[in-house]
Amino acid sequence: MAVPVIAGLGTAQPPGATQDELWSGFFAGHFPDATRALAQRIFANSGVTRRQAAVNPLLEDVSDWPTERRMRRYQVEALPLGKEAVGRALTAAGLDAGDVGMFIVCSCTGYATPGLDILLARDLGMAPHTQRMVVGHMGCYAALPGLGAAGDFVTARQRPALLLCAELTSLHIQPATARLDTQQIVSHALFSDAAVAAVVVPGGRGYALREVTAITDTSTADHMTWDVTDTGFRMGLSPKVPQVLSRHVRGLVDGLLARHGATLSEVGGWAVHPGGPRILDVVERELALPPQALDAARATLDAHGNCSSATVMLILDRLLRAQRPAERILMLAFGPGLTLYAALLDHTP
């Protein structure tokens, strides 16, 4: 039976602005005087130079919008981005929309019914019998369980599956407050918008999806939250998150590699979700990686910020577009739970 293979990727992003432009043009006036100096330091040390926003705060302030208005705007902005990413992925894989057996959409930044899965299936011409799945509110690691579901479908049915991660974090800028809220400053300094699609097929040329695995430390469930409020979705982000990752990441990676007779030294490409610079530093230290191992993750954070579930797929795309792509790639992503997900990919000629 043919193994599931990632045969094509497609990305789409809205217009961007530099971190300096976003700070001076909006956020410098968004935070209260007492916390402005701290906020400026956090923005400057975020590891981000440029970000993309479907709803650009330099042009449109959504911080006081009610959640209903934000959700209506999500559908307007996410649909064309998703269509662009999916179209590019299908073209790269040499398939038509009608070939897709399952369509999986990951997003934690917007909800509506009918959702992106239905509207894109309609607009792109997917078959009426195409199965659909929506992975919602899993946060930054959602791409990997999405890939796992796509791989399981392909293995069981021997038909193509399509994954789309579409995130519009720009819709969730929170209202200004008079008190110090470091967690919101960090969130506003990091997050960005993107859509990335992947086509998974039975066998053929590409990257075989060997396994997707995870571990969740429920004792630290309060360390990362994404609450639905009357003014959009509000991020809770404890500074203890890197400590939790440091306890679990080595065991997760070693176990995954051992099951496939592989070692750390045999991994040539690392697609590690950059929740922030400290997250990458922890992964690099705990896995004893050489400094250049996480170059793709740091470059993605620098150029695009943290795009939630789409980020690890942006890094994968960057790795695959390298002059000499790695034969073996390990993907890592982290999110609420606290949850760590990993996936192992091998190149198939």
Q: What are phi and psi of 271, to 5 degrees?
A: -105, 90
Beta strands in 57-116 (DSSP E): 102-107
Closest CA to 24 of 40, 12, 11: 40
Spatial distance between the Cα atoms of 276 and 283, rounded to a whole number of angstroms: 11
Q: How many helices (H) and strands (E) does the chain have?
A: 11, 13
Determine contact, residues 132/103, Cβ cutoff 8 Å.
Answer: yes
Q: 102-107 and 50-52: which strand pairing?
A: unpaired
Closest CA to 280 of 313, 312, 310, 257: 312
Instruction: Print burial letters for 276-306: b (CB count within 10 Å at least 16), e (below 16).
Output: bbbbbebbbebbebeeebbebbbebbbbbbb
Determine contact, residues 107/77, Cβ cutoff 8 Å.
Answer: no
Angle at 221 between CA 218 and CA 222, to 5 degrees: 155
Spatial distance between the Cα atoms of 82 and 195, rounded to a whole number of angstroms: 6
140 flagged as catalytic: yes
Spatial distance between the Cα atoms of 315 and 331, rounded to a whole number of angstroms: 9
The distance from CA 207 to its chain's CA centroid, rounded to whole angstroms, is: 19
Q: What are phi and psi of 178, to 5 degrees?
A: -80, -20
Spatial distance between the Cα atoms of 214 and 341, rounded to a whole number of angstroms: 4
The one catalytic residue in 108, 140, 165, 307 is 140
Spatial distance between the Cα atoms of 138 and 339, rounded to a whole number of angstroms: 9
The residues annotated as belonging to the active site are: 140
